[in-house]
Structure 1
Amino acid sequence: MRRYFNLYSQYFIGVLFGFGLIISGMSNPQKILNFLDIAGNWDPSLIFVMGGAVVVGLGGFYLASQRTEAFFGGALHIPGRRDISKPLVIGSVIFGAGWGIAGLCPGPAIVALGAGQVKALVFVLAMLAGMALCNRFFTGHKQ
């Protein structure tokens, strides 16, 4: 029973996250590109979306730091590393470049894919290929 509750709660949280992305405009690549275009047709509205995400994230990290297990049972995995490594910087640059070129990042891309956007399909396929390549050549977790 607990296993099904975990699955349903994860599904509900995913759907809620997807609706939040749609309502905020984060699943619209043009809105993202307009936000990044500060010299042209700049749309600053996503600053509020990002600010809200930071506040919610800080609250979530605070709650997690006070716990020893996950809300629905099981181990709570909090990263121990806090250093800025070369792979972290390279990954951040690749993520930012992809976000700036496509106007999508992973969460909104999956939402846009569900809406039938062809651009999102190309993005998600490229993202999955990149993840597979990273796993194969850089992390040592060969599949």
Structure 2
Amino acid sequence: MLLVVLLGGLVFGVGLAVSEMAKPEVVLDFLQFDDFGLLFVMGGAAVVSGLAFLVGTRLLDRAPLTGRAYGRRLKDLDQNVVVGGVVFGVGWGISGICPGAAYASLGIGNVPILWGVAGMFLGAYGQGYWRSRD
């Protein structure tokens, strides 16, 4: 099963590289309404994911990796969801890259993106530290 996950990640990374969505400039052009290519990439991903979840949950009674039964995970729209979404969106808008695409960007030789990846790790660590104080 880990081979399937690795293959999925490889396809994801190649797709981001081929569609040029691993380049922050392309993503920033989308956010400035200059290039709508990202809309088609996200739409294609949503269709494939939706079909996979629809077919997977109907044909399999348990999740292949964990063996747990499928079920809905209900999450309330609370302060953490809203603040986290805003912070993520601001970071995406400033850097022009989301976490998945940042790793793909490394694969196409964008070494300066390591600053963004380091920032993501520091932000995640800081949030974990802040929450553990409660």
TM range (shorter): 0.7 to 0.9
Q: Which runs of 5 or more residues in structure 1 are unaligned?
A: 1-5
Q: Which residue of 2 aligns with 1:47?
A: 39
In the superposition, the TM-score normalised over structure 2's length comes to: 0.85
Deviates more, 1:65-74 or 1:14-23: 65-74
In the superposition, the TM-score normalised over structure 1's length comes to: 0.80
**What's the Cα RMSD here?**
2.1
Q: Which residue of 2 aligns with 1:7?
A: 2
Instruction: Give the number of the structure with larger relative contact order, counting CA–CA contacts within 8 Å between residues 6 or more apart.
Output: 2
Query: Which residue identity does 1:51 align to in structure 2?
Result: G
Q: What is the DSSP-based 3-state SS (H/G/I as helix, E as strand, rest coil) of the residue aligned with 1:81?
A: coil
Q: What is the DSSP-based 3-state SS (H/G/I as helix, E as strand, rest coil) of the residue aligned with 1:69?
A: coil
Alignment of 1:59-98 (within 5 A): 59-66=51-58, 67-71=60-64, 74-75=67-68, 80-98=73-91
Deviates more, 1:63-72 or 1:125-134: 63-72
Distance in 1 (CA, whole Å) between partners of 2:91 and 2:12 is 21
- Residues matched between the structures, number: 132
Quick one: which of 96, 101, 124 aligns to 1:131?
124
For residues 77-120 of structure 1, give each alpha carbon's deviation from its aligned partner in whole angstroms, at most 9, with x where no partner exists: 65521431211111111111111111100011011123332331
Q: Which runs of 5 or more residues in structure 2 are unaligned?
A: none
Q: Which residue of 1 aligns with 2:18?
A: 23
CA contact (8 A) 2:57 2:70 kept: no
CA contact (8 A) 2:17 2:108 kept: no
Query: Which residue identity does 1:57 align to in structure 2?
Result: S
Q: Which residue of 2 aligns with 1:120?
A: 113
